[in-house]
Amino acid sequence: MKANTRRGNRLAFDEVAAVYDQARPGIPDHLVTTIVDITGLAPSDPVLEVGAGTGQLTMPLRAAGVEVTAVEPGERLRALLSKRTAGDSGVTVLGGFFEDLPDLQAPAGTFAAVVSANAWQWLDPSVSYTKAADLLRPGGHLALIWNFPIVADTRLQHELNKRAFGDYPDAVRDPATHLPGLQAHAAEGRAELAASDRFETPWWQFTTDTLSLSPDAYYDLLLSYANAAVLDAAARTDMAHRVHTVLTDHGADTVPMLNHLYACIARRADR
Ligand SMILES: C[S@@+](CC[C@H](N)C(=O)[O-])C[C@H]1O[C@@H](n2cnc3c(N)ncnc32)[C@H](O)[C@@H]1O
């Protein structure tokens, strides 16, 4: 995905760490299998994960047997990740921004893969690709993934847009343009990767899973996005009420979602 120019929001998730931890869907096993297959990762291979959050990708990577060094700048998110991985010697949790990571913490030429889920767009693209390439060993891969859930019932999504998201326009999703918009953003992200001149032409794909959320889980998901942290308590309460009213009027006791998944995997270019 193309770099986010509102980089000032990159720590906003830390403001809603507990909600984030509960609400965000984990990275599905099939996507982790795809990463392992394409990168050729083997058990015990060292992997650097950037923007690990509370472990949405870290945990399935560990289940795949690789050793993870997880970078997470958010203090509260990092505390939850450290708690979740306590006692697992296969996970090392580091604080700070990836761009500022000292060489001693992540030595150049070390990693079989640098991976990131839902986080790479927050990095400075003039640094991120070059730094990742330097940290990778020859033949190593950069694997970037994102997930983008949207309400599957377009009539319900339109109702929510109209009646619930007045104070939170960032929650509005247009079913007609959602996926094409993501595809355009993804193409711009691949152009940034190509401009770094440090990776081979990437393999990439979009796939779509389904999710079924309870009304509360759907509301928490809305609040887990970066821009939700700016909502004050009154705006949150009001939105919760509006969301629940729309769902009730719609007779929806669950919210079916389409979860669009994008993966982009590139091998380090040999020089
Ligand atoms: C949307 S969350 C993704 C968390 C998790 N990987 C997931 O898939 O749910 C983005 C994460 O990137 C982290 N982040 C933002 N800027 C970063 C940077 N420059 N270096 C490393 N992590 C960063 C944030 O703190 C946040 O945890």
Three-class secondary structure assignment of the chain: CCCCCCHHHCCHHHHCHHHHHHHCCCCCHHHHHHHHHHHCCCCCCEEEEECCCCCCCHHHHHHCCCEEEEECCCHHHHHHHHHHHCCCCCEEEECCCHHHCCCCCCCCCCEEEEEEECCHHHCCHHHHHHHHHHHEEEEEEEEEEEEEEEECCHHHHHHHHHHCCCCCHHHCCCCCCHHHHHHHHHHHHHHHHHHHCCECCCEEEEEEEEEEECHHHHHHHHHCCHHHHHCCHHHHHHHHHHHHHHHHHCCCCCEEEEEEEEEEEEEECCC
Assess whether the C-beta atom of 10 lies below 6 angstroms from ligand 1. Answer: yes
C-alpha 17, offset from chain centre: 14
Dihedral of CA 151/156/158/163: which sign? negative
Assess whether the C-beta atom of 98 lies below 6 angstroms from ligand 1. Answer: yes
Position 194 scores a pLDDT of 98
Q: Whose CA is nearest to atom 27 of ligand 1?
A: 53
Assess whether the C-beta atom of 48 lies below 6 angstroms from ligand 1. Answer: no
Position 168 scores a pLDDT of 85
Position 179 scores a pLDDT of 95
The pTM of this model reads 0.96
Ligand 1 atom nearest to CA at 20: 9
Ligand 1 pocket test: which of 9, 10, 170 has the largest number of ligand atoms within 8 Å of its C-beta? 10
Locate 212 and state its tokens: 């079924």
20 Cα–ligand 1 center, Å: 11
162 Cα–ligand 1 center, Å: 30
100 Cα–ligand 1 center, Å: 14
Q: Whose CA is nearest to atom 12 of ligand 1?
A: 51
pLDDT tens digit at each of 271 positions of the chain: 999 877 778 888 898 899 999 999 889 999 999 999 999 999 999 999 999 999 999 999 999 999 999 999 999 999 999 999 999 999 999 999 999 999 989 999 999 999 999 999 999 999 999 999 999 999 999 999 999 999 999 999 999 999 999 888 889 999 999 999 999 999 999 999 999 999 999 999 999 999 999 999 999 999 998 877 778 888 888 999 999 999 999 998 999 999 999 999 999 998 7
Position 226 scores a pLDDT of 80
133 Cα–ligand 1 center, Å: 19
8 Å CB contact between 122 and 55: no
- Alpha carbon distance 129, 199 (integer Å): 8
- Alpha carbon distance 214, 212 (integer Å): 7
Q: Which of 71, 110, 70 is nearest to 91 (CA)?
A: 70
8 Å CB contact between 93 and 46: no
Task: Name residue, tokens 């380090």.
Answer: 268
Position 72 scores a pLDDT of 97
247 Cα–ligand 1 center, Å: 31
One-letter amino acid at 149 equals P
210 Cα–ligand 1 center, Å: 23
Dihedral of CA 64/65/68/72: which sign? positive
Position 252 scores a pLDDT of 84
Position 170 scores a pLDDT of 85
Assess whether the C-beta atom of 117 lies below 6 angstroms from ligand 1. Answer: yes
Q: For the chain, which residues make up each domain, given as ranges?
A: 7-147+175-211+261-267
Which superfamily does CATH assign the domain made up of 7-147+175-211+261-267 to? Vaccinia Virus protein VP39 (3.40.50.150)
Q: Whose CA is nearest to atom 5 of ligand 1?
A: 53
Assess whether the C-beta atom of 151 lies below 6 angstroms from ligand 1. Answer: no
- Alpha carbon distance 181, 141 (integer Å): 26
Position 265 scores a pLDDT of 98
